[in-house]
Structure 1
């Protein structure tokens, strides 16, 4: 990219062991803001993410667990943002670009960059244009995580926790259904936030879609991942064993799909798509960015106010959940009337998953049931494994 006239900086200004995990693209047009757009979500800028809803997969440059095959199927989510929020997202980019502190303090990394003639100084950006004009009915809130570092960020000297704070506020208002898609679901601290809401509200259900297998199968990475997830899932089940359900997905060939999406929908009112996972790193340690969306347009389909708080179902959040559920349950466009009411929707999700699971247990005989979702199996690590692998 640098040779082609672009400018790329390798930013290692993170806390020890941390990473810049934000995934953000901003496109601005000189003199015409109507085409300005930003993309935000879980999709990395690399060739190995080229998959679609059929999940035929994409070749990976870095080897994944063998169970995913030569072209691992990949499920991810991204949102396109237009209007004034594009300016907020560009400002987030500019804050990091304009940070004049060294890109890295690692002497080995610095020497590596010097030997490869890697670009290490940011040029001056053009003046930031005015925010684009409003384009729709959606209120978009930009949520971020920045670690608290000893030297600090000039734009976040004490770190930033708006991802964690935004989710905690939204989760406290949940009354009927929390729907999650996440790569990890790995932290007991994060799980307790959901568990508290489940205990507080007996009508609340939680459905999560996660990968059936972790992407790396090495002993030193696999066991801690398994233990970490088991701990988080157990916190949820202890809070509401009959109202928590964890699932994973496969493609129509029966190959597991790696879930990399970071999507949340609460009571068909509030939705979030971003780079942040449900783990401690994403809520405190790594840099993350997400967009929480509250649509001003109410959805006209019953139930009008599933949460019963007067918030009413919003079109964006409900449409997002239904689009994902139709994909996972093998439904055609518009075949979702029985997925509107949260209680009925939970039953339909479970029935579809159980039917596919029975088909597999029966040796995959006969016609394959519709859908791609299966109950996520629990793993019971040995006591010895718990002792050394516990996060």
Structure 2
């Protein structure tokens, strides 16, 4: 979310308050506290779902250090989300805008058949124009290019920017138009937004995470920077993306195709969207795509992982306005001896969300949760690593809007190798963060308390 789009959120939010009844999240506490002993998750490979015997053998080879509890937990996660694990993938963790943009542009340049891009924000700035030019060039070279962009996230972008791409032959879809006159049959649900960040090239490589197509990612943040900038104007946003290769890419592709079809638009043009999958690596992953009014797959997975945590919970969240169930799960984990640490923004592009999240600091700190605020750079990453073996990267913030009202996409990667990469990233962020203590927090200015109190009334809509 950038400053321009945030400026549009408040009037839309107030309008939605008048138009929509409050929906609610499912009760994940009803899930059994202990996974069934010996339960095994199902696993899909390049030839479909594996037999139980082959799944056991594959898990023993690809996840050799997994305990019986961890395998049972994976089975329980499948039971609550309805999504199986996918084997044979390669996962590349990408830090910050410049690294991510370079990898995405490299993949687009190498495209031979089709490119599907889904994004909340597609700005008309130097970086956005660079992407548009590259996509236009590929379309003119015979590659099929399809783009879904959110109509609220791009509210400040001139339509001429998109019409230029359309005139070049690119197929574009504005998700849930703000103007109800532009709808084609479906009900007007302006509060339901497409917050996913997804790029799939030739059905063989996929990218997802928190990074939009915006100039805010043209610079690097403090992450692994050799020379530390001293002014915010010199620093890019801190964000995380992931590049996936292997059979799991088909799950990303299906998500895009379903979203396109769900908007009652013209059919996607013919292309080889689902090539024969090939084994690209040894990573086990689960691709979760959630939609408003759906099965709350990402919310369930997050809360279940927190409930089942044994040693550590390390969360990074750009917009932290948790629901009561998530707050209680984090507090319970800390009280049973799990080390719970959360990196949150020290500066933000959304003051309302910033102060609404602060309203939960006191009770979390009192329960033993450690809270850190990233300094200087604007934090926009949405990641988690639990017990060093369960990790997720995606578009989902820990807030009601993401869990309930947005279309989001997260990938869960199981195993110690990727978990270690995520842990190293988390530790890097801690080095550029300031810890907030309970004593310090309770001594904060009265003016801040008033802002938090006022913002808390908007929690459901933020």
Confirm or deny a common fold (TM above 0.5): yes
SS at match of 1:80: strand
Over 6 Å off, 4+ runs: none
Match of 1:177 in 2: 312
Q: What does residue range 355-366 of structure 1 map to in structure 2 within 5 Å?
A: none
The aligned residue for residue 94 of structure 1 is 257
1:211 to 2:345 alignment:
yes
Tell me which moved more, 131-140 or 8-17: 8-17
Aligned match of 2:175: 11
Between stretches 18-27 and 1-10, larger displacement belongs to: 1-10
For 1:92 and 1:262, locate their aligned partners in 2 and report how far apart those are by CA, in whole Å.
19
Q: CA, structure 1 residues 125+324, in 2 after alignment: closer, same or farther (shift >3 Å)?
A: farther
Shift of 1:53: 5.2
Other-structure match for 1:143? 288
Match of 1:225 in 2: 353
Task: After TM superposition, give the deviation of residue 166 of structure 1 in Å.
Answer: 0.8
Report the counterpart of residue 34 of structure 2 in structure 1.
none
CA distance in 2, matches of 1:12, 1:380: 41
Q: Flag the 1:6–1:289 CA change in 2: closer, same or farther, 3 A.
A: same
Return the alpha-carbon distance in structure 2 between the equivalents of residues 9 and 196 of structure 1: 43
In the alignment, what sits opposite 1:76?
239
Shift in Å at residue 139 of structure 1? Answer: 1.1
| Counterpart selection for 2:388 from 268, 271, 290 | 268
Structure 1 pair 165/188, CA: closer, same or farther in 2 (3 Å)?
closer
Question: Aligned partners of 2:300 and 2:356: how far apart in 1?
Answer: 22
Measured after TM superposition, the shift of residue 54 of structure 1 is 4.2
Asked if residue 168 in structure 1 is aligned to residue 269 in structure 2, the reply is no
Partner of 2:429 in structure 1? 328
Q: Is the partner of 1:2 in helix, strand or coil?
A: helix
How far apart are residue 6 of structure 1 and its match? 1.9
Match of 2:364 in 1: 236
1:246 aligns with 2:365: no
CA displacement at 1:15 relative to structure 2 = 3.7
Q: CA deviation at 1:181?
A: 1.1
2:216 equivalent in structure 1: 48
Unaligned runs of 5+ in 1: 30-35, 58-66, 103-120, 149-158, 217-221, 251-255, 296-313, 330-370
Match of 1:389 in 2: 455
Say whether the 8 Å CA contact 1:191–1:233 is kept in structure 2: no
Equivalence for 2:419: 317
Output one character per residue of 1:262-300: Cα deviation in whole Å (capped at 9) or x when no partner: 1100010100000000001111111110000013xxxxx
Please state which structure has a larger fraction of its residues in strand: 2
Deviation at 1:135, TM superposition (A): 1.8
Q: Distance in 1 between matches of 2:246 and 2:396?
A: 23
SS at match of 2:347: coil
Q: Which residue of 1 aligns with 2:194?
A: 20
RMSD between aligned residues: 2.7
| Equivalent pair of 1:181/1:209 in contact (CA under 8 Å) | yes
* DSSP 3-state at the match of 1:75: coil
Provide the residue aligned with 2:435 in structure 1: 375
Question: 1:386/1:266 Cα in 2 relative to 1: closer, same or farther (>3 Å)?
Answer: closer
Cα-to-partner distance string for 1:140-196 (whole Å, 9 max, x where unaligned): 101222112xxxxxxxxxx13110111122112212111111102212423222223
Q: What SS does the corresponding residue of 2:418 show, helix, strand or coil?
A: helix
- What is aligned with 1:357? none
